[in-house]
Amino acid sequence: MAEQSKIEFGNKVPLVDSYGRAIKNVRISITDKCNFRCIYCMPAEGLEWLKKDQILTFEEIERLTRLLVRMGIEQVRLTGGEPTVRKDLPLLVKKLSEIEGLKSLSLTTNGYLLKNLAKPLADAGLTRINVSIDSLVRDRFFQLTRRDSLQQVMDGLEELEKHPSITPIKINAVAMKNFTEQEVVGFAHLARRKPYVVRFIEFMPLDADEIWDRDKVLTGDEIRAILEREVMPLELVPSLDPAETSTRYRFIDGVGEMGFINPVSHPFCSACDRIRITAEGMLRTCLFAHIETDLKTVMREGASDEVLEETIRRAVWKKEMKHFINDGEAFKRTKRSMSQIGG
């Protein structure tokens, strides 16, 4: 670490952890608030929201992003809570998209506000998007999100298609046992009919209501078996990026791609290149971390970029080796839920 922290500011010394993983990817939560109440994430009554002065300002987010890009971060994803509920989101996207050296700027959203935001976001320089949809059936969508909003989300997707500078359009569905099985074929047809890559992500123990247990996880392999049986065989799409979280398959006739993010059944921690910053500026080096580093206070106490950089490097050096979801008693839930981290 001594060597790591002594680098001169501005040097392109890679941002690495003690296991040799280079960090290229940051997910920045820009709000903890949300207009949905997905059962695998938030309680029906919501959570206690942060106050305005507790969350990072656009200037603080821009400063951090600029610094992280100079330290080797290539990809920035804005998330939340629901990032589209943050006022003036396109303004932030514009500021970040102008940062030299940033290769990809993306957004993860529930899609509810996309119909009006797709154009401003495209104009501001957003390059990629993930829209979360767990069901293509109105009442089942309501059952999961506690909001009757499937149509608004689908309208938002249609609008996105008019802005080809935002590509690819990815759809993320959380895969839960005894629910998602009935959605798989519908999503396959959507991926074959539309220019959307559909990805299933295994349910993780990050829900505020703590309903997660292993038996509620529908694994990627189980979903793939359904697709092979009920739609048609799939072939693996080779990936050139070892840090890619999703394993990609395309239907054997070449029409439609499905992805599987399997953090529970096939952990990918050894290739993890991600860090996260929560809405209130806590740096987290793992989704399941128990330790955080308070970057907001460091910035608000007037730290120079050099001090901020050293704080980040020291925290990243201690990035967790792996998650412990599969290690029985060794696994302890983190006190934050997904919406309070930034998925």
Contacts to ligand SF4 by CB under 6 A: 34, 36-38, 41-42, 80-82, 110, 132, 338-339
Residue 148 to residue 154: CA distance in whole angstroms: 12
Q: How many CB atoms lie within 10 A of CB 104?
A: 13
Q: Quick one: CA dihedral 120, 69, 59, 277, positive or negative?
A: positive
Asked if 203 is part of the footprint of ligand SAM (rule: CB under 6 A), the reply reads yes
Q: How many CB atoms lie within 10 A of CB 77?
A: 22
Q: Which residue has the tokens 């952890």?
A: 17
Asked if 260 is part of the footprint of ligand SAM (rule: CB under 6 A), the reply reads no
**If binding means CB under 6 A, how many residues of this protein chain bind ligand SAM?**
20
Q: Which residue has the tokens 């971390």?
A: 289
Residue 243 to residue 246: CA distance in whole angstroms: 9
DSSP character string of 323-341: --TTSGGG----SS-HHHH
User: For residues 15 and 204, which CB has a smaller minimum distance to ligand SAM in the complex?
Assistant: 204
User: For residues 15 and 133, which CB has a smaller minimum distance to ligand SF4 in the complex?
Assistant: 133
Candidates 24, 25, 32, 40; binder of ligand SAM (CB under 6 A) is 40
CA angle at residue 109 from 224 to 221, to 5 degrees?
Answer: 10
User: For residues 72 and 186, which CB has a smaller minimum distance to ligand SAM in the complex?
Assistant: 186
Asked if 82 is part of the footprint of ligand SAM (rule: CB under 6 A), the reply reads yes
Asked if 204 is part of the footprint of ligand SAM (rule: CB under 6 A), the reply reads yes
Select from ligand SAM, ligand SF4, none the partner in contact with residue 188, using the beta carbon and a kind-dependent cut-off of 5 to 8 Å: none
Rounded least distance, CB 274 to ligand SAM, Å: 13
| Closest to 322 in 3D by CA, of 278, 266, 283, 281 | 266
Q: Which residues bind ligand SAM (CB under 6 A)?
A: 34, 40-41, 79-80, 82, 108-110, 132, 172, 174, 201, 203-204, 206-207, 338-339, 343
